[in-house]
Structure 1
Amino acid sequence: MRNKLFLKEFSAILKNKKLLIPIIAVVFIPILYSGMFLWAFWDPYDHLDDLPVAIVNEDAGAAFEDNELHLGDDLVDKLKESKDFNFQFVDKEEAYKDLNDQQYYMLVEIPKDFSKNATTLLEDNPQKMNLIYVPNESYNFLSAQIGGTAVEKIKASLSEKVTETYAETMFDKVGELADGIGQASDGALQISEGAADLKDGSDTLHEKLALLADKSIEFNNGVSSARKGSEEMTEGAKSLSEGLGKLAEGQSELSKASDQLESGSQKLSAGVTQTKAGIVTIKEKLPVMIDGTEQVENGAKTLSSSLEQWQTEAQKLSGGTALLEQKLQGFISQLPDGSPEKAELQTVLAQLKAGSAQLAESAGKLSAGGAELSQKMGQLNEGQLQLQQGINQLAQGASDLETGSQQLVQGHKDFGAGMETFAQKFGEAQAGADRLAGGAADLSGGLGKLTQGSAAFADGTKQLEDGAGKVAEGNAQIYEGSAELANKLADGAENASSVNASDKTYNMMANPVEIDNEKITEVPNYGTGFAPYFLSLGLFVGALLLSIVFPLREPAGVPRSGFSWFASKFGILAGIGIIQGLIAALILLLGLGLEVQSVPLFLLFTIITSITFIALIQFFVTVMGDPGRFAAIIILILQLTTSAGTFPLELIPNALQPISSYLPMTYSVSGLKAVISSGNFDFMWENAVILLSFAALFIAGTFVYFTAMHKKRFAAAAGQAD
């Protein structure tokens, strides 16, 4: 029978307990090797709560925005609820001593100024919050790496908490700012409304002052004309008095010129009558003028007082504008540089400041002009009173002159009746002429003073008109600036008040980015991730140990051919390899709960891997003997470093990376990853084909060796063996 040698090999194993027991033990080597490793490291992070870590809280706390901040205590409370590690909360001296005594794998110290540094964000030199992480790497290096990752998580959590605190405070300040801007907007609106009234009033004042200036010029011109007339009248009265004096020197000349005198006296009488009528008219009108002047004077005084009060209010407005500017500067300084809101507010503040300054200056000028106007009106009133006095005297003198002139006319008519009557009337006429001259002189003096007062009044009203014009311009600018300020402040208040912050808002600012970990294929734990590597390693070690307990060269009988010799050996080894692979795979599936994408394909690929490693070990040990085992160990070492079962291939030294493609474990690990985790069965089959190619190559090499050895050792007895 063709399988007779194989049966002899199998029977020899069953009959020889020294051979059977080691082979049975070797069958379980892959699962002992891979299973124990995977079981031990299946999910180490599930036991982190047993890892002792010391926590030292030295934080003294701090005050922030009228609130007590104790971030160290908050962190301790959070860690007490955490199950990440076996946290032990101890004092500093004890913690460092126990860390050196290897009672803790790591230590986390919260410094004394931890909370205090959290409050320095808005200071000129903000201080970072430092957590002191002290690992004991000599105790266990990986625990230090795991601890470092945990500290980073703690850091991120604390950073989020601190940022939430700052965000909450910032939004509170924004709310206060919105209220302040709203109040400022209401105040600016009131200023705008007041400025509008002030603008209208100043425009009206300017118009009335312009009218007053025009009328004062007309009044000054009229007073000048009256003054000229009074001067002429004074000259006439003097001439009349001189003429009467000459008449008194000689009656003879008067008699001679009686005809002329009669004619002149008639004209004089008519002129005196007209003069009297004019003086009476002036006398009647002058009280009205004096009353009007007194009213103007009183109005000027009232205007001066109002302007002084207005100047005070303007200065208050300037001071209020400065206060408003000071308060708004604080708000503007918190706005980001280059923002349009900050530029607009600064422009409006500049306009408001310039307008208030111009208003204060104009108010000062207007107040000074009002005071001067009041003074000039007093002088004018005084001159008018003197004028009234002179007019009264002039009226009395004019009345007497009229009587005298009438008597003179009558005397001229009665001249012929008697010189005594003429002399008497002439004396009366001379006395009236003297009084007329005195009254005319008084009238001329009063009109002179009135001319001076009216000129000063005209100048004052002109200055007052100019000042009112400037005030009107300043008020217009204030109105425009305050209206724009009110609008901008209202917009700013609306924008600021539209910010509605909540805990979600604070959390969004503290942690604006979250990572959605969308995995293409999910590996649930370390055991699943390392299963391809340790299963491949276990199957290779199992094949290697099998070469020690099972004779790979010596046949159980005389082989009939090289193929028979090869087939008997390879059949036993392949069978044991299949059993090894199935036992290891089933225990991983049923014992450790390994989840795979396809159980049948997982079992099949495990068998292919085991057969490939059996073929490799058989070739090297059969052909080379013990040196072959050494070569297999070298291959195992190379495979451990280049198969990418732990770290990615790109992370190992460049000199080792090219070796990976020439070793079978590279493809067994890749194929097992595909069938266990990714489910990429096409990729699995690609690696399976490569493994089968390796197996075919080593099988062919072993077959050639047995064929050659058969010719040397068993050619003569080939016909007798089977």
Structure 2
Amino acid sequence: MKNAFTIYRNDWIRIFKAPVAAFLIVALMILPSLYAWFNLKASWDPYSNTSGIKIAVTSEDDGAVIRDNSVNIGDEIVASLKENNKLGWEFVSKEKAKQGVRQGDYYASLYIPDDFSAKIATILDDKQVKPEIDYSVNEKLNAIAPKMTSTGASTIVQQVKENFIHTVSESVLSVFNDAGIKLEEELPTIRNIEEKIFALEKEVPKINELGEKVVKLESKFPEINRQAQKILALEAAFPEINEASKNILLLEEKIPELEKVGEGVLLLQEKAPEIQKLGDRVTELDAHFADISEMVTSALSNVEDMQSFLETASGSLEQIEQGINNGKQIADVLPAFMEANGQALDAVGPVYKQNLLLYQKTADAVHQFAASVKAGALTEEEVSKTALTLQAQVQTSIDSLTRSISLFTTLNSATSNGEEALLTEIEDLQALQVNFQQEKEKLQTIKADDEEEASTLMALSQEAIELSTTLIDRYDQQTEPAINRTLEGIKDSAQNAMNDLESAQENIPKLEEIIKNTEESLTFAKEELSKLNANLPKIEKEIHEATNLIQENMDKVMEGINDAANFYKDSFPALKEKLHAAADFVRDDLPAAEEDISKVAAFIENDLPRVEDAVHKAADMVQNELPNLEATLTKTADSIRTFEDEYDLSEIISLLKNDIQQESDFISDPIVLNENSLFPIPNYGSANSPFYTTLSLWVGALLLISLLRVDVRNPEGMYTSNQIYFGRWLTFVTIGLCQSLIVTLGDIFILKAYVAEPVAFVLFSMFISIIFMTIVYTLVSVFGNLGKGLAIIFLVLQLSGSGGTFPIQVAPPFFQTINPFLPFTHAINLLRETVGGMVKETVLFSISMLLVFSAIAFIIALFLKKPLEKGTKKMTEKAKASEIIH
């Protein structure tokens, strides 16, 4: 820890020695507090200034007459709003209100129609119609204002409801009072009617017994007839049923074949990605076929030119060799040959590159063939025929590779020390040759249904494609310069032939071998390109037709395969069971069922009409003699008994004759709400100070890691990674503590925010600053620029998921889930306790959770900083190399 404190001391010495740095540090201490103060002041007490929110009010109510009393509830609403200053009510015409809301002059409008009071008066009619108030709001002006205006509108509606309930209840209670007086006068008559109803009721059971049975039977006859018609239809359809049953038995026999088809569909679905990939490759090839045709024609022309050069060089070389052997004119003849036949030697590189492209083409052809076999897209005959063709093509490439390897071996031996690039090229060519040999062996044994062999061949051909691509990519930068250097060496040796005849004699065989290999490579290239050029029109036509077919039908084919596979997996098992069950029924039960249905059908046709006619007559008699009297009589008697068991009629009369005004007041406003605030906070700004203070501390930490370095110059490795971490951490924490002091003291003494426990508010803010600074500093110290991004992501998540402004219960499920795991959540809760009044259990829980976050940060630093140090440094250097990220 001594070295850590040394780093900390040196940081502050350097800060105080540089006035600009000191000024910047002081600014970083103050800036976060400005973020909190301005936000708190802007939202200090918004609900005390709602009178500036303009709402247009229009009343066109014509009024109504209720029991000889004229009322105009619209005018009453307007009068009450004129005394209400909670919102900015403005009383204007309907058109002005509509235009004002549209243009943003008013946040909302209330329109009371001309029939408002008339509809309220329908309470005394047989049919009631609810009155309406049209409420329009311009929600785009502000997110909160519509909620305030909606509350104002709801208040108006509630006020109308209360007045309406009071008026109606007063009227109803007046009616009840009159009813109570009248009921008391008619009480003897009511008692006499009760006795007669009870006497008549005793005879009802005997009358009902027979009538209920007849009516019950009659009620079932429509259903009986419907079922009877189904039975007759079923009997008529039995010939068709018997014919269909034969098909069911035949279908049951075909189930094994259907299962085999289903398994094939599932297999085809598994191969769908490969089929689609193959289709994409064909489409891409069709789009670029013109370029391919032009490239092949050009390559063939180049090969023919190169062959002409090599023939000339070969003839000249024989003369040079003869001249050298005779020892005549060596100094003049050999340089002249090199000058005359330089184009032949210069053809070595382009010919080799052309061969590389052909190797790649061979590997790609094998890969497409293997993919088609694996996808099951080829028959056995097609597989066999294509495999034979590809074997010949692969063997040709193997022979060409042998010549290429020999060529590069000769070139490499022509230099005194050898070329490393040529050695690498020889190794890769040998690897490609081995690969082609393995492909050839697989092509000799592959079958149409051999998915494993197809997968192996695909892997080999993919490896060959990658090898040939590597050779092609490397050609321009490495291989061609190496070839040219070697050839230049041979040319230089030839130019100096007068001084070194022996060296010239040694290089002549090498030149012969180079030209020979080049000639053979050109022969291979010409043969392959000639074949390809001859087949190009046919290939282009086939590819174009295949592309059109793929583009038109691929989606339908894939959709059909998926639908068929889903049906086989999901529906076919159940269908199979049902089919077996149906077949069992056809074999075992259908003949007996046919016989029984024939008997029932005979009864329906001959006897059922007479039975139905008799039942209708009986039911009609019961219904005519016992119209609704029995049910009404029973219900009335039961109601009387129930009423007398539960209520005392004299007591009801007494209740109906109570005080009308007192009961009406109670009904319109039956509840008294007693409000009790456990932790009162006088204004909105003070209530928000925990959130904005917490937010400013995190923002302060982000400012520090954005402007200050987390690494330390470490000459000769005198500090360990942990010492650097803790040394610079002390510097960051010190600045963070100053930030927390400034913002909290400013909340209390500048903004005059209400804080129940000011000392705890300051101390807990300092504690939170240490936690936040530890988290943010650790992210950047361990992960570099990636850590800065993570710190910003945490800020965004915490703004929405901490419940700082709105209750977390109204947030989406995702934010409710992450809420307990965010440092903001517990930091805000801790500061809320100091603002409103502290509860010991909540304070301890919040502190313990923040300590857990701090412990996690220290564990990450101790265990990951050193292992990730090199990677983080490398990533930082790459970022700096962009000259836009520091």
Q: TM-score range by the shorter chain?
A: 0.5 to 0.7
Once the 2 structures are TM-superposed, how far is the Cα of residue 516 of structure 1 from its aligned partner?
A: 3.5
SS in 2 for 1:78: helix
Is 1:509 aligned to residue 511 of structure 2? Answer: no
- When the two chains are superposed, the root-mean-square deviation of aligned CA atoms in Å is 3.4
Distance 1:694 1:350, change over 3 A: closer
Distance 1:577 1:491, change over 3 A: closer
- Equivalent residue for 1:422? none
Residues 314-359 of structure 1: per-residue CA shift (max 9 Å, x gap): xxxxxxxxxxxxxx7xxxxxxxxxxxx8xx764457999xxxxxxx
The one-letter code sitting in structure 2 at the alignment partner of 1:102 is G
Once the 2 structures are TM-superposed, how far is the Cα of residue 524 of structure 1 from its aligned partner?
A: 4.4
Once the 2 structures are TM-superposed, how far is the Cα of residue 177 of structure 1 from its aligned partner?
A: 5.4
Is 1:143 aligned to residue 138 of structure 2? Answer: no
- Equivalent residue for 1:81? 83
Alpha-carbon distance in 2 for matches of 1:18, 1:668: 33
SS in 2 for 1:37: helix
Check conservation: 1:532, 1:672, Cα contact below 8 A: yes
Once the 2 structures are TM-superposed, how far is the Cα of residue 166 of structure 1 from its aligned partner?
A: 1.5
Alpha-carbon distance in 2 for matches of 1:555, 1:345: 111
Once the 2 structures are TM-superposed, how far is the Cα of residue 523 of structure 1 from its aligned partner?
A: 4.7
Q: 2:703 aligns with which of 545, 554, 557?
A: 545
Check conservation: 1:555, 1:565, Cα contact below 8 A: no
Q: 1:168 aligns with which of 170, 191, 216?
A: 170
Distance 1:41 1:348, change over 3 A: farther
Distance 1:168 1:606, change over 3 A: same
Once the 2 structures are TM-superposed, how far is the Cα of residue 60 of structure 1 from its aligned partner?
A: 1.1
Residues 215-247 of structure 1: per-residue CA shift (max 9 Å, x gap): xxxxxxxxxxxxxxxxxxxxxxxxxxxxxxxxx
Residues 564-615 of structure 1: per-residue CA shift (max 9 Å, x gap): 5334322221111111112222222233333334222222221111111111
Alpha-carbon distance in 1 for matches of 2:161, 2:819: 44
Check conservation: 2:725, 2:781, Cα contact below 8 A: no
The one-letter code sitting in structure 1 at the alignment partner of 2:831 is L
Is 1:673 aligned to residue 832 of structure 2? Answer: yes
Alpha-carbon distance in 2 for matches of 1:619, 1:15: 27
Distance 1:688 1:489, change over 3 A: closer
- Equivalent residue for 1:640? 799
In the TM superposition, what are the counterparts of 1:479-518 in structure 2 within 5 Å?
Answer: 496-497=656-657, 499-502=658-661, 504-518=662-676
Alpha-carbon distance in 1 for matches of 2:193, 2:24: 97
Once the 2 structures are TM-superposed, how far is the Cα of residue 643 of structure 1 from its aligned partner?
A: 1.5
Is 1:532 aligned to residue 690 of structure 2? Answer: yes
Structure 1: gaps spanning 5 or more residues: 186-327, 329-340, 353-487, 714-722
The one-letter code sitting in structure 2 at the alignment partner of 1:74 is E
Once the 2 structures are TM-superposed, how far is the Cα of residue 47 of structure 1 from its aligned partner?
A: 1.1
Is 1:621 aligned to residue 783 of structure 2? Answer: no
Once the 2 structures are TM-superposed, how far is the Cα of residue 489 of structure 1 from its aligned partner?
A: 11
Alpha-carbon distance in 1 for matches of 2:64, 2:740: 64
- Equivalent residue for 1:690? 849
Distance 1:72 1:608, change over 3 A: same
SS in 2 for 1:104: coil
SS in 2 for 1:133: strand
Q: 2:747 aligns with which of 588, 591, 601?
A: 588
Is 1:612 aligned to residue 614 of structure 2? Answer: no
Check conservation: 2:62, 2:117, Cα contact below 8 A: yes
SS in 2 for 1:28: helix
Check conservation: 2:782, 2:868, Cα contact below 8 A: no
Higher relative contact order (CA 8 A, sep 6+): 1
Check conservation: 2:28, 2:704, Cα contact below 8 A: yes
Alpha-carbon distance in 2 for matches of 1:656, 1:122: 52
Alpha-carbon distance in 2 for matches of 1:617, 1:490: 80
The one-letter code sitting in structure 1 at the alignment partner of 2:696 is G
Check conservation: 1:5, 1:557, Cα contact below 8 A: no
Residues 266-302 of structure 1: per-residue CA shift (max 9 Å, x gap): xxxxxxxxxxxxxxxxxxxxxxxxxxxxxxxxxxxxx
SS in 2 for 1:60: coil
Distance 1:591 1:98, change over 3 A: same
Distance 1:701 1:175, change over 3 A: closer
- Equivalent residue for 1:96? 98
Alpha-carbon distance in 1 for matches of 2:66, 2:871: 95
The one-letter code sitting in structure 2 at the alignment partner of 1:28 is I
Alpha-carbon distance in 1 for matches of 2:855, 2:118: 72
- Equivalent residue for 1:153? 155
Check conservation: 1:6, 1:572, Cα contact below 8 A: yes
Alpha-carbon distance in 2 for matches of 1:584, 1:513: 45
**TM-score between both structures, scaled by the size of structure 1:** 0.53
Q: 2:737 aligns with which of 565, 573, 578?
A: 578
Which of 1 and 2 has greater Rg?
A: 1
The one-letter code sitting in structure 2 at the alignment partner of 1:544 is L
- Equivalent residue for 2:347? none
SS in 1 for 2:136: strand
Residues 146-200 of structure 1: per-residue CA shift (max 9 Å, x gap): 221222122111100111112233344455556x649x85xxxxxxxxxxxxxxx
Residues 653-710 of structure 1: per-residue CA shift (max 9 Å, x gap): 3344443333322221222233333521221122112212322332454466777899
- Equivalent residue for 1:6? 8
Distance 1:93 1:670, change over 3 A: same
The one-letter code sitting in structure 1 at the alignment partner of 2:803 is A
Alpha-carbon distance in 2 for matches of 1:559, 1:541: 33
Structure 2: gaps spanning 5 or more residues: 197-647, 873-886
Identity percentage of aligned residues? 26
SS in 2 for 1:53: strand
Once the 2 structures are TM-superposed, how far is the Cα of residue 616 of structure 1 from its aligned partner?
A: 1.1
Once the 2 structures are TM-superposed, how far is the Cα of residue 109 of structure 1 from its aligned partner?
A: 0.9
SS in 1 for 2:132: coil
SS in 2 for 1:665: helix
Q: 1:133 aligns with which of 127, 132, 135?
A: 135
The one-letter code sitting in structure 2 at the alignment partner of 1:63 is V
The one-letter code sitting in structure 1 at the alignment partner of 2:729 is F
The one-letter code sitting in structure 2 at the alignment partner of 1:561 is Y
Distance 1:150 1:559, change over 3 A: farther
Check conservation: 1:181, 1:492, Cα contact below 8 A: no
Check conservation: 1:19, 1:549, Cα contact below 8 A: no
In the TM superposition, what are the counterparts of 1:110-125 in structure 2 within 5 Å?
Answer: 110-125=112-127
Once the 2 structures are TM-superposed, how far is the Cα of residue 80 of structure 1 from its aligned partner?
A: 0.8
SS in 2 for 1:59: coil
Distance 1:556 1:84, change over 3 A: farther
Check conservation: 1:160, 1:507, Cα contact below 8 A: no
SS in 2 for 1:120: helix
Distance 1:345 1:500, change over 3 A: farther
Is 1:106 aligned to residue 134 of structure 2? Answer: no
- Equivalent residue for 1:44? 46
Alpha-carbon distance in 2 for matches of 1:140, 1:542: 30
SS in 2 for 1:125: coil
- Equivalent residue for 1:408? none
- Equivalent residue for 1:60? 62
